[in-house]
Structure 1
Amino acid sequence: MGYEEAPWIFKGRALYQLHLVKVADAKKYIPGDFHIVSLFGYTLGGFYLARYSDSPVGKFDELVALAGLVWNPPTSCAWAARVYVSNWQARNHGRRHCGLPSRMAAFEEKTEVIEKGPPSWWTQQRKGECAHDEARSHPVLLHNEERRSWLQPWKAPAQGLRTPVCSMALPPARRKGWPGPRIRLSLPSFSGGTPECPDLLQYTCQLVTNVRAVAPARVQACSGQEDNPREALPSIFRGRPVFALAFDDMEMVVNAPKVLTLPHQKGANVQPVMA
């Protein structure tokens, strides 16, 4: 099992939430070759949170912190400032082949905070099952594990190396009823400009999924993240949520990246951005 020849297929569910992000913050992570789509000093950033039940490397979780919208006629898309994944193969593939600023992380339920009510989106049941009304919801806590040993990736990280990144109070799980319209989406994506992939890249993500509007997740960067310039989450998550969508019973097909040459580049590589 692993990332062989594209296309790569991912199945599961995802949350897609957009926030207002200051252009000054977005510029820290977006190559200067791109035009940032903005209005009154703000662009649209946010996050993409996914729980994959099947992928080229099996089950894993992913959080993509989106710095803002970039424009390259005739398309625009959100630029990933940081990608957190719970699988080492996904982390390495993202950095080496897709030009993504991927890092290893642990996704955990924050069990010390318990609220009465239905399960959260994170703990919802499989397709066709209904969440029990008396179940309890646990916000999710994300830990950075990037400093774990490369030679022994299976070994637990040493004491004190797992730095909390953020906590997320997610919307409730879907109850019985109409799951929302089943639609097809084609999402163009840009990446690259990193030390591992200096060139800018483009690829497409084709989704077939049920989509529904949900209440925005409440996101809070953990203590100390504001002082860490390598983490994008505080400046992205402090913005006001604009909307949030849930993708249920999702199948996503990702094609292999291709080198993107912008009209004004004249074949030159861009300078790597902070990763």
Structure 2
Amino acid sequence: MKAEETNSITSGYGKPPWIFKGSALYQLNLVKAEVARAFIPKEFRLVEAFGYTLGGFFLANYSDSPAGSFDELVVIGGIVWNPPTSCAWATRVLVSSDEACIHGRKDVGLPSYVAKFSKQISATAKPKSKFNTFLNMKGVGGSTNCMEVQVSETKDTAVADFCNINLPAGDAASELNSGKWMGPTIKMSLPSYRIKPTSPAKVLRPASEKSDSTQDPDCTHSDDKRNLSIDVMLSKPILALQFNCLKMDVESPLIVSHVLLNSTEK
């Protein structure tokens, strides 16, 4: 399929490629196909099997980027067929930077919203499972420390809790200095990073949910889409990968012609 490059560039980001450095957690979940279809345009075909598709979320902390340091949560609704390959579909993007939010909306076409990321480390007991036993044998599990990340969307002075994410604590710098195994170094044409398997993060629905539609003035049926994005986060996890020493070189976004999209439909 052919595509054309967009010419819109946010002045604050400068010219691409845009470089992002930091760490991230990429968690894959089994998402119900009916939930994913609420976000995906009819021009695209959902990749699914037995009523499920592959979604999840990408939680990142960028220490350096065109917008400076900021946090990002990308909710992935599912996989769509985009000939000759497939790609993940972002249903909601929450960032702790106004500049990153504007760039995501205007230059990339992402459903970006500004959010507050509150973090604290606490001790917790891990539940016993075959998955955790396997990680312990490999020397990447067994930690009793947990980092709790509370994500709340913000609009002016209004705040709406989105979710709480509990994940194993630890940052790339401390692990690197301690000599702890961080996974093999992988270099590709897109990102460079160290990667290792980790225990799935535990996602909790916010205790109090506000449904004031003024929180999302630019999104049709904002409350429904917001709640469905939370359902994606709460879906059954199947794999969690931790990325350390992450470096991403991001090129200009590509837009797909609607004419070409319609011509590929069967």
Of residues 238, 243, 249 in structure 2, which corresponds to 1:253? 249
- Are 1:61 and 2:71 matched, yes or no? yes
**CA spacing shift, 1:224–1:184, aligned 2, 3 Å:** same
- 8 Å CA contact retained: 1:226, 1:234: no
Give a deviation string over 1:126-183, Cα, whole Å, max 9, x none. Answer: xxxxxxx9995441111110x21xxxxxxxx2xxx21111000012426432221111
Matched letter for residue 229 of structure 1: D
Give a deviation string over 1:95-142, Cα, whole Å, max 9, x none. Answer: 01100000000000257xx3258xxxxxxxxxxxxxxx9995441111
Of residues 146, 151, 154 in structure 2, which corresponds to 1:142? 151
In structure 1, C-alpha distance between the alignment counterparts of 2:151 and 2:182, rounded to whole Å: 28
- Are 1:169 and 2:177 matched, yes or no? no
Matched letter for residue 79 of structure 2: L
Counterpart of 1:104 in structure 2 is: 114
Instruction: State the number of aligned residues.
Output: 218
Q: Secondary structure at the match of 2:224?
A: coil
In structure 2, C-alpha distance between the alignment counterparts of 1:241 and 1:258, rounded to whole Å: 30
Instruction: Give the gaps of 5 or more residues in structure 2.
Output: 1-10, 126-141, 212-222
**CA spacing shift, 1:79–1:225, aligned 2, 3 Å:** farther
Q: TM-score of the superposition, structure 2-length normalised? A: 0.75
- 8 Å CA contact retained: 1:225, 1:234: no
Give 1:1-275 correspondences, 5 Å limit: 2-109=12-119, 114-115=122-123, 137-145=146-154, 147-148=155-156, 157=157, 161-173=158-170, 175=175, 176-185=179-188, 206-223=190-207, 225=209, 228-231=223-226, 232-261=228-257, 263-265=260-262
- 8 Å CA contact retained: 2:123, 2:144: no
Matched letter for residue 255 of structure 2: V
Which moved further from structure 2: 31-40 or 227-236? 227-236
Query: Could you tell me how far 1:185 is from its partner in structure 2?
Result: 4.4
Query: Could you tell me how far 1:56 is from its partner in structure 2?
Result: 0.3
**CA spacing shift, 1:210–1:261, aligned 2, 3 Å:** same
Query: Could you tell me how far 1:216 is from its partner in structure 2?
Result: 0.3
In structure 2, C-alpha distance between the alignment counterparts of 1:134 and 1:21, rounded to whole Å: 28
In structure 2, C-alpha distance between the alignment counterparts of 1:163 and 1:264, rounded to whole Å: 36
User: Identity of aligned pairs, percent?
Assistant: 40
**CA spacing shift, 1:116–1:21, aligned 2, 3 Å:** closer
Instruction: Give the gaps of 5 or more residues in structure 1.
Output: 118-132, 149-156, 187-205, 267-275
Query: Could you tell me how far 1:260 is from its partner in structure 2?
Result: 1.2
Which moved further from structure 2: 30-39 or 46-55? 30-39
Q: Which has the higher helix share?
A: 2
Matched letter for residue 65 of structure 1: V
Matched letter for residue 23 of structure 1: A
In structure 2, C-alpha distance between the alignment counterparts of 1:134 and 1:37, rounded to whole Å: 36
In structure 2, C-alpha distance between the alignment counterparts of 1:210 and 1:59, rounded to whole Å: 20
Counterpart of 1:199 in structure 2 is: none
